[in-house]
Amino acid sequence: MSNVQIITGNQAAALAAKLCSVEVVAAYPITPQSQLSEILSSYVESGELKAEYVRVEGEHSALTVCISASTVGARVFTATSANGLLYMHEQLHWAAGSRLPIVMCCVNRGVGAPWTIFNDQQDSLAQRDTGWIQLYCRNNQEIIDTVIQAYRIAESVYCPVMVCYDGFVLSHTMMPVDIPDAAGVRAFLPPYQPHTILSPDDPRNLNPVLFPGQRRDSEGVLRDGYMDMRYKLQAALEKASETIRAVNAAFAEAFGRDHGGMLWEYRTDDADLILAGMGSIASEATVAADRLREEGIKAGVVGIRSYRPFPKADVRNAFRNAKGIAIFEKSISYGYEGGLCSDLKAAFYGTAIKAPIHNYIAGLGGRDVKARELAAAAKNSLAGFEKGMVEPQTTWLNTTTG
């Protein structure tokens, strides 16, 4: 039976963690994530969630607690935003290198300096290369469903997962959300089976210093060197694409909601102009595509759900018939262009996809981006494409200097 509630994105994430029966929570307050950790602490205090809530002195410690708890076999959860995520940077690498299935919500917020409490995606994009799977949500329903999926993904491939959603735009905005049945979640998400071995009868060293090359241990068994371990992490992230698709399909079968796996498409079957993005800006782009359709322009949207691992095969299929591409991003790789733009161009290299690309940097620090503005930008790009503009361009949207 359906259980629809009108809740915020932070409430959706907290409910998901409770439904997944997490055993340890460690988080440090930072706007706009604070509400999420407060809700979880109230669940623990009231007895609704049988978990240890560890109060820590900062974000680095929060993730350190999760690393320790995951290592001894607990299902763990944490969350943060912006500079809090940056404080975790060292431990993000440690969690991934240890192959621990930690799930963390990044409630996206602009990074200081200068200070802002408002939304963009620079925080999570800056941590792209730490070895975490990164999934981006377009609405509150997708937040609750993705956190649940994230545990099954993480515990299948033994890699940590970062579930990213836009601060305030989603975290504090109330939307109708269909709450999954607790029994259904238990059936979908089996108990965590840790791969770490901690036993007094079988003592081990965890994460010792490794030499560059392979070496034999005291029993003569050839063991991996540092580079071999890095290769295995890369291979796991690449293989995770199959798992993300499979878990999404299993979730759709169990709960009736399909979020697209690696990406989602909107009105792309006959689209000449494709708008692309991640998170809420991609959702806003669907309204822009509808406006463009009303004006006779065949527009569609591709929303990237999994940024790491990057959906190379999926985007090649989704963009195969595009005649023009407009990419909207809430972050930038300083000194070049938006990271999604770079990755899409790399994925298209060597294929028949030769559509001109226009990259828009938008919404930094919470600057408002409306559907009509996305539509106007896309129309401007289309006019340039029709005049023969083929060199990729980067434009700052809604600025006096862009």
Pick the CATH number of 263-396 from 3.40.50.920, 3.20.20.210, 3.40.50.300, 3.90.1150.10: 3.40.50.920
Q: Which pLDDT score, from 0 to 100, does residue 92 have?
A: 98
Could you tell me the pLDDT band of residue 1, with boundaries at 50, 70 and 90?
low
Find the mean pLDDT for residues 254-264: 98
For the entire predicted model, the pTM comes to 0.97
Residue 119, pLDDT above cutoff 80: yes
Contact of 263 with 248, CB cutoff 8 Å: no
| Packed helices 226-255 and 89-97: angle between N→C axes, nearest 10 degrees | 90
Determine whether domain 4-188 maps to CATH 3.90.870.10: no
Report CA torsion sign: 361, 363, 364, 368: positive
Residue 66, pLDDT above cutoff 80: yes
Q: Which pLDDT score, from 0 to 100, does residue 392 have?
A: 80
Could you tell me the pLDDT band of residue 401, with boundaries at 50, 70 and 90?
low
Residue 402, pLDDT above cutoff 80: no
Q: Which pLDDT score, from 0 to 100, does residue 218 have?
A: 84
Q: Which pLDDT score, from 0 to 100, does residue 177 have?
A: 98
List the chain domain ranges. Answer: 4-188, 263-396
Residue 320, pLDDT above cutoff 60: yes
C-alpha closest to that of 278 among 51, 94, 120? 120
Find the mean pLDDT for residues 224-233: 96
Find the mean pLDDT for residues 303-329: 98
Find the mean pLDDT for residues 40-54: 98
Q: Which pLDDT score, from 0 to 100, does residue 206 have?
A: 81
Q: Which pLDDT score, from 0 to 100, does residue 369 have?
A: 95
For residue 289, which amino acid is it?
A: A
263-396 has the same fold as 4-188: yes
Euclidean distance between CA atoms 133 and 7, whole angstroms: 26
Could you tell me the pLDDT band of residue 217, with boundaries at 50, 70 and 90?
confident
Q: What percent of the chain shows pLDDT beyond 90?
A: 92
Find the mean pLDDT for residues 18-22: 98
Residues sharing a CB contact under 8 Å with residue 20, sequence separation 6 or more, in sequence order: 75, 77, 103, 147, 148, 151, 185, 189
Average pLDDT, the chain: 96
Reduced 3-state DSSP string for 71-136: HCCCCEEEEECHHHHHHCHHHHHHHHHCCCCCEEEEEECCCCCCCCCCCCCHHHHCCHHHCCEEEE
Q: Which pLDDT score, from 0 to 100, does residue 81 have?
A: 98
Reduced 3-state DSSP string for the chain: CCCEEEECHHHHHHHHHHHCCCCEEECCCCCCCHHHHHHHHHHHHHCCCCCEEECCCCHHHHHHHHHHHHHCCCCEEEEECHHHHHHCHHHHHHHHHCCCCCEEEEEECCCCCCCCCCCCCHHHHCCHHHCCEEEECCCHHHHHHHHHHHHHHHHHHCCCEEEEEECCCCCCCCEEEECCCHHHHHHHCCCCCCCCCCCCCCCCCCCCCCCCCCEECCCCCEECCHHHHHHHHHHHHHHHHHHHHHHHHHHHHHHCCCCCCCEEEECCCCCCEEEEECCHHHHHHHHHHHHHHHCCCCEEEEEECEEECCCHHHHHHHCCCCCEEEEEECCCCCCCCCHHHHHHHHHHCCCCCCCCEEEEECCHHHCCCCHHHHHHHHHHHHHHHHCCCCCCEEEECCCCCC
Which range among 116-130, 170-184, 188-202, 325-339 shows the weakest confidence by mean pLDDT?
Answer: 188-202
Find the mean pLDDT for residues 120-134: 98
Contact of 173 with 279, CB cutoff 8 Å: no
Residue 281, pLDDT above cutoff 80: yes
| Segment 183-214, tens digit of pLDDT | 999 999 999 999 988 888 888 888 889 999 99
